[in-house]
A and B are shown apart, each in its own frame.
Chain A
Amino acid sequence: MNHSELTQPVDLPARENDSYLAKHTVRSWLLTTDHKRIAILYLLSILFFFLIAAIAAAIIRIELVTPQEDLIGADMYNRMFTLHGVLMVWFFLIPAAPTVLGNFILPLMLGARDVAFPRLNLLSWYLFITGGMVSLYAILVGGVDTGWTFYTPYSTTFTNGHLVTMVAGVFIAGFSSILSGLNFIITTHKLRAPGLTWFRLPLFVWGLYATSIILVLATPVLAMVLVLIAAERLWGIGIFDPAKGGDPVLFQHLFWFYSHPAVYIMILPGMGVVSELIPCFARKRIFGYKFVAAASVAIAVFSFLVWGHHMFVSSQSVYAGFMFSILSYMVAVPSAIKVFNWTATLYKGSISFDTPMLYALGFIGLFTMGGLTGLFVAAIAVDVHVTDTYFIVAHFHYIMVGGMVLGFMGGLHFWWPKITGRMYPEAIGRLAALVTFIGFNLTFFPQFVMGYLGMPRRYQVYPEEFQFYHILSSAGASILGVGYLLPVIYFIWSLKHGPRAPDNPWSATGLEWTTASPPPVHNFHQIPVVVEEAYQYPVPASPPLEAALPGKSQKGEPL
């Protein structure tokens, strides 16, 4: 095996308080190349963007309580949902799990001292922040009203918003994605600790690896299409404008070629987190390790072949529709495999319901709902009816919020002791997980019903018969808001007042738990050597002897 010098088992002298958090200067944060500090920078930045986008969502939900226009005008409403979509997708959902959890945990899980290219990692963050600031500027000077999808020719010829500035921001942030993906791929290939073979990797690493492949391969297509929109808008080059012989649907092909895989950028790391949490809190090795790992890669590959299912009504040919439909159904299979394997992992486990586990179970529930409604929208005849309605809105929120956000929150709680060296308050943590789950379902389940009844998305005023569902949805959103706010409060509280975390508060397996909480600057004083597969949780014998046996079965084989 070819390991770089970073992973050579060189002993570093153990020092008192060599925690990566020890330095406090602004300079030590802004010029850091420590993956753990960069992860914190990302955490603060995505929370900032999430907050703005969530406020936009709140305004939208308040506006929709009545069928008429009351709180804001039509133009402002359109700008609000565009703002919500753009910031949530590109500045929260896509970067959140890879750049926060991935950055922090990946090198620790691999037994590495940092990512492969630490300075590139810092550059990624600066690109991300620059992109975010450019987009924010576009919002502050007047915003964009096209929706996050920027469909042509509306975006290129008709809208009066600050479209070019907005896409410039997304374009810049895209490079941050590409560089992060590249960094993670190379880190995973080159910086694994001795003995850490591919099939001994924690499943989060597999999820992150699959995510990184998508980041590297799909994001350039987004970059190209954004350049084309800007060029068409600035110079009228006529790629998409039908009056010049352009094809507005071409934009949709290019856009969804990126944006469908992007959904899997959001969900794959979440699946990886859940694959960590379930074994830990069920005290059991994951069922079907190789199938769960391979499913991640299969999802990443299939994700590139299904973009046309966003375009069943966009005048695409009937036969193209057939191909995209059947391929979309094929994506459902690896997703189902994961859910079944998680379920089987619980069998004969010793399950505790700490906050991360509640989020993981919530993830499975909401992801299953999102996935099953994916079957609905892959059935072309049904999709024709429900596309561009609230059914779609509900479906993708179940995947993105139910899946990605719950996975992220589960991971954040799970690794919070490692990240900060402090425990969060467990009881209120469980409460927040429950509130989030209830609030989420109340917000989005009614949207399935009103979507099938015909309520179109991106409507500010709507027929009265939908009001009941909108009120339910808005009420749910306020509960969901509480579910989001609680962790922010107690996480901040825990930084000062939380009990000090032990190195391994969950008795979890994985290299990240073998080092201090918070980890030293270079992660490990001695590079660990891996001799066993992941998730070697103690196997119980007959009930009274449970605790007595070591982490192997009597036959010496992992179970």
Chain B
Amino acid sequence: MTFPLFPEQASLGAREVDYVMLWLIGISCFFLLVTAGPIAFFCFRYRRGNQVNRVHIRKGALALEFTWTIIPIFVALGLFGLGASAYFRQRHPPEEAMELHVVGKQWMWKIQHPEGKREINELHLPEGVAVKLLMTSEDVIHSFFVPSFRVKQDVLPGRYTTIWMVPSKPGSYHLFCAEFCGTSHSRMIGRVTIMPRAEYQAWLLTGEQGESPVAAGARLFRELGCTGCHVGSPAVHAPNLNGLFGSVVPLEGGTTTLADERYLRDSIMLPNLQIVHGYEALMPSYQGKVSEEELMAVITYLKTLGSGKRGERIGGPGSAGAVEAGGEAARVQPLHLDMRTPAPAVVQPDGAPAAGGPAKGGTPP
């Protein structure tokens, strides 16, 4: 039986966290020495009854106070910098990271790969590829924790959180739920298996092949009736979804919001939370009508709709010149799916310029 002090390093980020940890251990040992050392020495030397010179003139006390105030401040700032910079990288996945979906529920982890393969309480990952997990919960707060990756992120109901890593060492590792979630909290565990890329590709082809989230999202988009308002003839005045993801959306009340996963999710489940400027609150809530997995699929599909090129229609040119840029985000057009008739002219709700905030992926006209 071995007694390691550090868990295995199975991701590139793990080494970075351990590096900060080693600094912390070193500095702690130093401070332990400069306090426990003198305390032990004074306790021995100045024990009552020991005949030593106890006369002292208190000089330089103020200098001493400032010394031991200022040095800890700088040490603290240094440690803050170490911890914060590693954390900053932990929280910013590279753009090209492969995206997996994780849904936590009492008491299991449900995972879907971008090709559509699903697994429960198991997570297979390819070695050396940046992987981003988009996570949510069906019920209470869970927390996705893989000690060998040194990553942990709470998984919340009604909200998306992400986590990312570059698995670096093939093998099998613990997956824990780290936030207390009820009776079987300690049984909400799983295995993370890291495999060489080729093996991962082969593994993806084994067993049942699911529909990919993008395909499922496109199907659900039709089945749930989203196309009725957001595509084709604007019988109902609804915002264009093309290129929506990553753009800045002007809202009623003059504010703007970044159209990230949270925004898409809220717009579907709690549509009255944030109304797009110039539109009426007509959208019904899909709460209870769509599962978390389905919702993730729809959002994944929406993200594929001309990402970064707001205003162009899918499946053809004909974007009718309504390219949104700068503060003109209020000009939207209905989504045009390629199986439908060409979209009509651009809807220009009121032409009012959107209030404030630079738009992402656009340049001022």
CB contacts (< 8 Å) of B348 on chain A: these are none
Residue of B nearest to A542 (CB): B55
Set of chain A residues within 8 Å of B106, measured between Cβ atoms: 158
| Structural contact, B82 and A379, CB atoms closer than 8 A | yes
Q: A325-B83, A454-B7 are in contact. Are A542 and B35 (CB under 8 A)?
A: no
* Cα distance A313–B91 in the bound complex, in angstroms: 10
Contacts of A321 in B (CB 8 A): 84, 87
CB-CB under 8 A from B54, the residues of chain A are 348-350, 540, 543, 546
Report the Cα distance A540→B48, complex, angstroms.
12
What mask results when residues 136 to 179 of chain A are scored 1 for a CB within 8 Å of chain B, else 0? 00000000011101011110011100000000000000000000
- Say yes or no for B220: interface residue by CB 8 A criterion: no
> Which residues, 368 to 386 on A, are CB-close (under 8 Å) to B?
368-369, 372-373, 375-376, 378-385
Task: Flag if A379 contacts B151 (CB, 8 Å).
Answer: no
- Please, which residues of chain A bring their CB within 8 A of the CB of B6? 452-453
Contact (A458, B46) CB under 8 Å given A378-B83, A379-B80, A468-B3 = no
Q: Are B180 and A382 in contact (CB under 8 A)?
A: no
Chain A residues, CB < 8 A from B148: 454
Looking at chain A, what size class is its interface with the partner chain?
35 or more
Least Cβ–Cβ distance between A445 and chain B, in angstroms: 12
Interface of A is mostly: helix
Cβ–Cβ < 8 Å partners of A348 in chain B: 42, 46, 53-56
Q: Is the CB of A333 within 8 A of B76?
A: yes
- By beta carbon, the residue of chain A nearest B135 is A315
- Determine, out of A11-19, A45-53, A334-342, A406-414, the stretch whose residues face the partner at the interface: A334-342
**Is B154 positioned at the interface, with any CB of A under 8 Å from its CB?**
yes
> Which A residues lie within 8 Å of B139 (CB)?
153, 158
Chain B contributes a number of interface residues (CB within 8 A of A) equal to: 85
Find out whether the CB atom of B159 lies under 8 angstroms from the CB atom of A454.
no
Q: Residue B90 contacts which of A364, A381, A387, A542 (CB distance < 8 angstroms)?
A: A381
Q: Which of chain A's residues have a CB closer than 8 A to the CB of B32?
A: 368-369, 372
Q: Is the interface of B mostly helix, strand, loop or mixed?
A: mixed
Closest Cβ–Cβ distance, residue A348 to chain B (whole Å): 5
A376 to B17, CA, bound (A): 11
The residue from B17, B79, B87, B183 contacting A74, defined by CB atoms under 8 A apart: B183
- The residues in B between 141 and 157 inclusive whose CB is less than 8 angstroms from any CB of A are 141, 143, 145, 147-148, 150-154, 156-157
Whether the Cβ atoms of B53 and A543 lie closer than 8 Å is yes
CA distance A249 to B137 in the complex (A): 13
Residues of B within 8 A of A498 (CB): none
Is B58 touching A375 in the complex (CB atoms < 8 A)?
Answer: no
Stretch at the interface among B125-133, B170-178, B194-202, B355-363: B170-178
Binding site for B on A (CB under 8 A): 74-75, 78, 145-147, 149, 151-154, 157-159, 242-243, 245, 248-249, 282-283, 287-288, 291, 312-315, 318, 321-322, 325-326, 329-330, 332-333, 336-337, 339-341, 343-344, 346-353, 361, 364-365, 368-369, 372-373, 375-376, 378-385, 387-389, 449, 452-454, 456-463, 468, 540-543, 546, 559
B-side residues, CB < 8 A to A, are 1, 3-7, 16-17, 20-21, 24, 27-28, 31-32, 35-36, 38-39, 42-43, 46-48, 51-56, 58, 61, 64-65, 68-69, 72-73, 76-77, 79-80, 82-84, 86-88, 90-91, 106, 139-141, 143, 145, 147-148, 150-154, 156-159, 161, 174, 176-187, 189, 270, 273, 287
Interchain Cβ contacts under 8 Å between A and B, 19 examples: A74-B187, A242-B157, A243-B287, A287-B61, A288-B61, A313-B143, A329-B77, A332-B76, A336-B72, A346-B43, A353-B47, A361-B39, A368-B32, A378-B79, A379-B82, A388-B143, A456-B176, A456-B186, A461-B187
